[in-house]
Structure 1
Amino acid sequence: MGKKVTEALQKLKHHGYKYTDKREDMLEFFGNYDGYRTASDVQEFMKERYDGISFDTIYRNLHLFHDLGILEATELNGEKHFRMKCDTSKHHHHLICKECGKTREIELCPMEYIEKELKGFRIDDHKFEIYGVCYDCQST
């Protein structure tokens, strides 16, 4: 079990949620992939071990993981995608492949320019993502 998965399971326990094999396996799925995945991807992975696992169970757990800050979420092609939350404490954004969901960190933040244009507007948070097709997906 990887460090991120162990920390995620500890966070679940800290917030009063039960440890289950299904939750561990879902977290392992994300811990072994560096990119965004859909609930359908998770269900495909899980159905080999948990025959008849419901889409609702998967989706509820994905949203729980997101609410607890274990997973990040974005929308690609009209569908919610999830990935393991970055373990870096430095501020950054992402370049995301629309084909495979892999991500790359971008350390540049456009907010310093945008804030100058929005005088008098209180910004509480922001998220900056660039979508495209990675080199590997372009080659296939």
Structure 2
Amino acid sequence: MKLNEAIEQIKKEGYKTTGKRKDILTFFAEADGYRTAKDLIAYLEPLYEGISFDTVYRNLHLFHEVGVLETTELNGEKNFRISCTEHHHHHFICKDCGKTKEIEVCPMKEVQQSLGNYAIEDHKFEIYGLCPACQ
């Protein structure tokens, strides 16, 4: 998802697109991989002196809820990235830097066969490790 698409999605859901919200989305649109709320706060503090954790977390939750941010758990902390909507794929995620690499392989055909008559509603496939730069 591109920055403009994310902004349009927020508007479509009936939410205001304030300067602060656009700056949050810009941070994630420019990031190469998953980032933490702490990373975001460090980025926003020079722009918005005294920005609160509550404001940041409230917006992160909203953006995830409307589908413009994806989340994953890394080292016991929630991490976020701009949603990928171009095509179906999965990710390798570096546990050190949060950088991601697309994986085109999807194991769902095998999983569906082994689950028989279960109704699968969604799935997420992630592989964790260290990218070449962090090894």
Q: TM-score range by the shorter chain?
A: over 0.9
TM-score by length of 1: 0.92
Residues 85-137 of structure 1 show CA distances to partners (whole Å, capped at 9, x for unaligned) of 1131x221110001111111111111111222111211111110000000011
Structure 2 unmatched ranges of 5 or more: none
Shift of 1:38: 0.5
Instruction: Write out aligned runs for 1:57-72 (5 A).
Output: 57-72=55-70
Alignment of 1:90-129 (within 5 A): 90-129=87-126
Identify the residue that residue 29 of structure 2 maps to in structure 1: 31
How many Å separate the matches in 2 of 1:97 and 1:68? 26
After superposition, the CA RMSD in angstroms is 1.2
- 1:15-62, Cα deviation, whole Å (9 max, x unpaired): 211121110111110111120001111011100110110011001101
Does 2:8 align with 1:6? no
SS of 2:127's equivalent in the other structure is strand
Percentage of identical aligned residues: 59
Distance 1:66 1:52 in 2: 24
Amino acid at match of 1:122: A
Unmatched segments (≥5 aa) in structure 1: none
Which structure has the higher relative contact order (CA within 8 Å, separation 6+)?
A: 2
Q: Structure 2-normalised TM-score?
A: 0.95
What is the SS of the residue equivalent to 1:136? coil
Counterpart for residue 130 of structure 1: 127
Matched letter for residue 54 of structure 1: S
